[in-house]
Amino acid sequence: MSGDLTTLQDAIEYQFRSSAHLQHALTHRSHAQESPDEKPHNERLEFLGDAVLGFVVSERLIDRFPSYAEGKLTKIKAYLVSSANLVKVSQELDLGSYLYLGRGEELSGGRGKKALLVNTLEALIAAIYLDGGLEAAAQFVDRAILTSEAVALADLNFEAENYKSTLQELLQGAKLPAPAYRIAEEAGPPHRRTFTVELLVGDLFRATAEGSTKKAAEQEAARIALEHFRKALEAPKARSQRQHV
């Protein structure tokens, strides 16, 4: 371990009553196996931390989005507790610097392994829960994981997936060609890129849309296509209904 645990506690904004809880969360199996006194490793804490994280995120989303259906809440939660999101949090906290690793794991770059960092973050959540209770763990999750930016991105990712999947299902049901997306243009400086996406549905429809990310641009293109095809497919039904009146 190269990091000072006092610095880590400052970073997570939680001071442990028992340093043993924190050390337990940071101890990898490889270190425990090499230790003569058989120190406990953090795998059992990972299990507990995963459950605490899932509960807190579910409770917070229910409170924050009272009008959202279960399916939408589930997908937003899935993003927030995903490895992709948790590894970013772990890297921001520099958890790798504080790990107790065995020699072999150290030499193989264990401090930077994504799966190991995610597991350690979950173990840390469990350690805070055991040391200070559910409210302390929930406050850490709020600060580190449920940031306004992360929740907004999770919500955006759901919408992007929702428009695209809905369009796919609509076209498939109407026996029309599947949509195809391609990046038509990238512009702007690296810190403020703009992406232009072109969407094609065979020779029937073409749309272009811009966004600050590829997903956002694809979302907008799919939304435009959905609006077009819903109108196009509903028009014959409306005419048929009028003819039968």
Quick one: pLDDT at residue 238?
A: 47
Closest by Cα among 139, 142, 150, 148 to 14: 139
CATH annotation of 152-243: 3.30.160.20
Contact between 114 and 85 (Cβ < 8 Å)? no
Whole-angstrom CA distances from 239 to 135, 170, 232 are 59, 20, 12
Mean pLDDT of the chain, nearest integer: 88
Where does CATH 3.30.160.20 sit in the chain? 152-243
d(CA 78, CA 179): 26
CATH annotation of 5-146: 1.10.1520.10
Catalytic residues: 50, 122
d(CA 48, CA 164): 35
pLDDT, tens digit, 9 for 90 and up, residues 90-148? 999 999 999 999 888 888 888 998 889 999 999 999 999 999 999 999 999 999 999 98
User: CA angle 156-161-163, nearest 5°?
Assistant: 95
Give the pLDDT band of residue 57 (cuts 50, 70, 90): very high
Report CA Rg, the chain. Answer: 24
Where does CATH 1.10.1520.10 sit in the chain? 5-146
User: CA angle 182-154-161, nearest 5°?
Assistant: 40
pLDDT, tens digit, 9 for 90 and up, residues 67-85? 888 888 988 898 899 888 8
